[in-house]
Amino acid sequence: MNLVYEPKKIIDVSKSQATFKRALNCIPAGIYGHLGPSEGCMVPVSSYPLYMDHAQGAYIWDIDGNRIIDYMCGYGPNYLGYNDPDVDAAAAAQRKKGDCTTLISDITVEFAEEVCSTINMADWAFFAKNGNDVTQFAMMIARAYTGRKKMVLTKGWYHGVSPWTQKLGYSGIVEEDVCNNLYIEWNHPEQFEALCKQYDGQIAGFISQPYQHGNFCDNELPAPGYWQKIREICDKYGVVLIIDDVRAGFRIDIKGSDYHYGIKSDLSCFCKAIANGYNVSVLCGNKKLLNATSDVAYTGSYWLSAVPFAAGIATLRKAKALNATEENAKKGKKLTDGLKEIAKDNGFDLRVTGEPGMFYLRLANDLPSRVIHQDWVCECVKRGVFFTSHHNHFINYALSDEDIQYTWEVADEAYKVVRERYPQAEFIK
């Protein structure tokens, strides 16, 4: 690719780093969970901007004043662009009327109707706050409906932080938390059928992301016929089929990822993109599970607050009007096609996996330590383009062609820097 550009400025992150030092004294891990460095995706931590001052569209301005093109989108919620004016106006109007009140707003029903007319499999919608709230609820409904205990998960899963979704050996997790779980490999429906035979009458639910979008590995799409086979096995053995669309929802198909891959789930979990960053998650279900769902005790202080519902309605309506999901996928394809070409021009083999609106990057001709890719990501971040090394990325609708062009220039410069740094790497010669 023919790129002509001025060398990029290296951002100063000293205020972020000083704030992080303060945080380490008063907040566990400084920044806990996926937004902080503890998951190993920010190497070295000392080079990363860690705190924002404000955000708009495709950008974050950090507290050192740097503008950063953000390809992590808050790890999923930014779908139309940060502070989308239509979504924010709908939320502000509802805030004036009331948010967390004893009598709930009738906007709750309007949001449920909007969700059910958008998501293909949905006969009803239940609202909570985080993705974990609805994956946990889905598991409980599967148990309530079937009167069975066991759950089948696919390797590479992430369904939140409820103990049953975590792994034995993780801090705070004991055998009893995970003793009803069974595991299969991604794209191996025959393993699922074998478990259904072995544990006939004991498996309540099958829970899975619509495609394998795990961390630290290439992401994998379903093989042709995979989801149809899983649906058939669930029907044959009376197992509730749960799609965890918390991350991929609205990134592949606005009607739901199960619809995109040609099936209807029994339960689908949504969060992240559904209200463009306002805090709401949604469990959608089919009619047969309605009574069992009504029977399960499940609620939270803020789950029926009205402001996020107004934001959710505005997000879904705007996304449909703009074809945002398809447009984001086109932007993702354009960006990553260019990145692959730029990598190749510099002697690197960049692999892009997953769906285009939610792509995963890996350098195939890295050193075994994966250090070159990590360094390349860091050199991009230092020039104001926020990628991360071992997690999928996200595209938002506000990302422009100029942003993509800028990203390509940064990617090129960053590849040149790491080429110099690793002259011993075999492929560079």
Interface residue list for ligand PLP (CB under 6 A): 130-132, 135, 158-160, 209, 244, 246-247, 271
Question: What is the closest distance, in whole angstroms, from the C-beta atom of residue 325 to ligand PLP in the complex?
Answer: 17
Kindly give the residue spans of alpha helices, DSSP state H, lying in 98-252: 107-118, 131-146, 175-178, 189-198, 226-237
**Smaller CB separation from ligand PLP, 243 or 310:** 243
Question: What is the closest distance, in whole angstroms, from the C-beta atom of residue 162 to ligand PLP in the complex?
Answer: 9
Question: What is the closest distance, in whole angstroms, from the C-beta atom of residue 247 to ligand PLP in the complex?
Answer: 3
Question: What is the closest distance, in whole angstroms, from the C-beta atom of residue 292 to ligand PLP in the complex?
Answer: 22
Closest CA to 380 of 343, 426, 427: 343
Looking only at the bridges linking them, the beta strands covering 150-154 and 203-208 are parallel
Question: What is the closest distance, in whole angstroms, from the C-beta atom of residue 143 to ligand PLP in the complex?
Answer: 18
**Structural contact between residues 244 and 209, judged by C-beta atoms closer than 8 angstroms:** yes
**Smaller CB separation from ligand PLP, 230 or 271:** 271
Question: What is the closest distance, in whole angstroms, from the C-beta atom of residue 215 to ligand PLP in the complex?
Answer: 10
The whole-angstrom separation of Cα 322 and Cα 80 is 9
Residue at 368: amino acid letter:
P
Residue nearest to ligand PLP (CB): 131
What token pair was written down for 335?
């960006």
Q: Longest C-alpha distance within the chain, in Å? A: 70
Question: What is the closest distance, in whole angstroms, from the C-beta atom of residue 124 to ligand PLP in the complex?
Answer: 20
The whole-angstrom separation of Cα 337 and Cα 335 is 6
The whole-angstrom separation of Cα 243 and Cα 355 is 16
**Smaller CB separation from ligand PLP, 165 or 328:** 165
**Smaller CB separation from ligand PLP, 163 or 347:** 163
Closest CA to 62 of 357, 414, 382: 382
Does residue 44 have a cis peptide bond before it, meaning omega lies within 30 degrees of 0? Answer: yes
Question: What is the closest distance, in whole angstroms, from the C-beta atom of residue 135 to ligand PLP in the complex?
Answer: 5
Beta bridge partners of 207: 153, 242
The whole-angstrom separation of Cα 129 and Cα 209 is 19
Closest CA to 111 of 260, 254, 304: 304
**Smaller CB separation from ligand PLP, 142 or 246:** 246
The whole-angstrom separation of Cα 47 and Cα 65 is 15
**Smaller CB separation from ligand PLP, 30 or 74:** 74
What token pair was written down for 37?
């460095």
**Smaller CB separation from ligand PLP, 325 or 392:** 392
**Smaller CB separation from ligand PLP, 207 or 385:** 207
Closest CA to 77 of 397, 352, 326, 298: 397
Question: What is the closest distance, in whole angstroms, from the C-beta atom of residue 89 to ligand PLP in the complex?
Answer: 25
Q: How many Cβ atoms are within 10 Å of 325's Cβ, its own excluded?
A: 22
The full DSSP string for 309-321 is HHHHHHHHHHHHH
Question: What is the closest distance, in whole angstroms, from the C-beta atom of residue 35 to ligand PLP in the complex?
Answer: 10
Q: What angle do CA 221, 226, 229 make, to 5 degrees?
A: 160
**Smaller CB separation from ligand PLP, 282 or 313:** 282
What token pair was written down for 428?
């560079």
**Smaller CB separation from ligand PLP, 269 or 404:** 269
